[in-house]
Amino acid sequence: MFFILSKVLSFILSPIWWITVLLLCYLIFRNYKKRKVLLYAAITILLIFSNKNLFHHAAKAWEGALTNPDAIEHYDGIIVLGGFSGFQTESNRIQFYQSADRLFQAVELYKKGKADKFIFTGGSASIIVKEKQEGLFIKDYLKKLDIAEDSTLVEWESRNTHENAVETKKMLEAIGAENGKYLLVTSGFHMKRAMGCFTKEGIRVEPYTTDALQSLIPPTFADVLTPSASALALWERLFREWVGIGVYKLKGFL
């Protein structure tokens, strides 16, 4: 029930959805004053949440500074959270999403000798479509990247961040490595929740942020004046994460 509820709640946490509802109400209501308020509210939300500069500063405050990979010390393992790819059966190929930066950054760190083990955790988060669990095809993909099989730990049963931490703890306990020190790799907006979940399970982790929502190059003056459709969409990811953290705290996952 918790898993399904979290997916339903995330559907309405979108400025685009709010604007749509306000405009629909504007068309339905006949009272002039109410219609005027609804229209102004829709325009205000549009202007605020489509401001690229505003979003950049909000995301930067939430995600924090990015880490220089050369400054990373040696760890017992790198833990990479899934949710960055899908498998298309018809073409027999992996489709990577924006958050695949998690995988590529982690592979680079591993190749640089920053960790002894490469640990992947992630199954399927779909509640409607039955799809191939991510860990299954990522395990094969890691072999193609010449990451030694005896250096990898992969699980594909977890469906959310809490389960990522629980299943990872089981894998580490199975090899007697639960007391090691690990580098946790996930998206910047998601890092606080991930750190909380893994720490709750007793796993010592340090954060390594990837695919940050904040702009790598600060927005220009023109960005302040020009509405951005991408900024409007990105706010949804932050809102979902903030609500997710609240729900996790209520459930005792953090």
- Convert the pLDDT of each residue in 183-239 to its tens digit: 999 999 999 999 999 999 999 999 999 999 998 777 788 878 889 999 998 998 999
**pTM assigned to the model:** 0.87
76 contacts 119 by C-beta, under 8 angstroms: no
Structure confidence at residue 121 (pLDDT): 96
Considering the chain, what is the average pLDDT of its residues? 90
Structure confidence at residue 3 (pLDDT): 54
51 contacts 227 by C-beta, under 8 angstroms: yes
Structure confidence at residue 245 (pLDDT): 93
Scored b (16 or more CB within 10 A) or e, 42-61 reads beebbeebbbbbbbbebbbe
**Regions in the chain scoring below 70 on pLDDT:** 1-11, 125-130
Domains of the chain: 2-63+226-251 (no CATH), 69-210 (3.40.50.620)
Structure confidence at residue 224 (pLDDT): 80
